[in-house]
Amino acid sequence: DIQMTQSPASLSASLEEIVTITCQASQNIGNWLAWYQQKPGKSPQLLIYGTTSLADGVPSRFSGSRSGTQYSLKISRLQVEDIGIYYCQQASSTPWTFGGGTKLELK
């Protein structure tokens, strides 16, 4: 199985700050990488697919990038509504696997 190592596990940031979350894939997954946001008591929601493409309705302050087998999610100016847990997911080969999650809190 492809392992997705996500970091950090938790992150405290201030409003308007730039936030970056990373996922390291254990092998080449190309651009088959998605990011999800999960708010307390809710289902995960798709933020980014294909490494860099924004899902419908997602604010442009979110962006995704890749360097080799390391993938990053960037929030350019943190807003209150961005608080939650973020997960990466590889869709290169089954079993699809998720990162362990990053809990984003307000400082």
Partner 1 sequence: QVQLQQSGAELVKPGTSVKLSCKASGYTFTSNHMNWIKQTTGQGLEWIGIINPGSGGTSYNVKFKGKATLTVDKSSSTAFMQLSSLTPEDSAVYYCARSRLSGDIDYWGQGVMVTVSS
CA dihedral (35, 38, 43, 45) in degrees, to 10, reads: -40
Nearest-approach distance from CB 78 to partner 1, in angstroms: 23
CA dihedral (55, 40, 79, 6) in degrees, to 10, reads: -70
Listed ranges 10-18, 64-72, 73-81, 88-96: which one lies at the site for partner 1 (CB under 8 A) = 88-96
Return the number of the residue (17 or 92) whose C-beta is nearest partner 1. 92
CA–CA dist 5, 90 (Å, integer): 11
Binding footprint of partner 1 on the chain (CB under 8 A): 32, 34, 36, 43-46, 49-50, 55, 87, 89, 91-92, 94-101
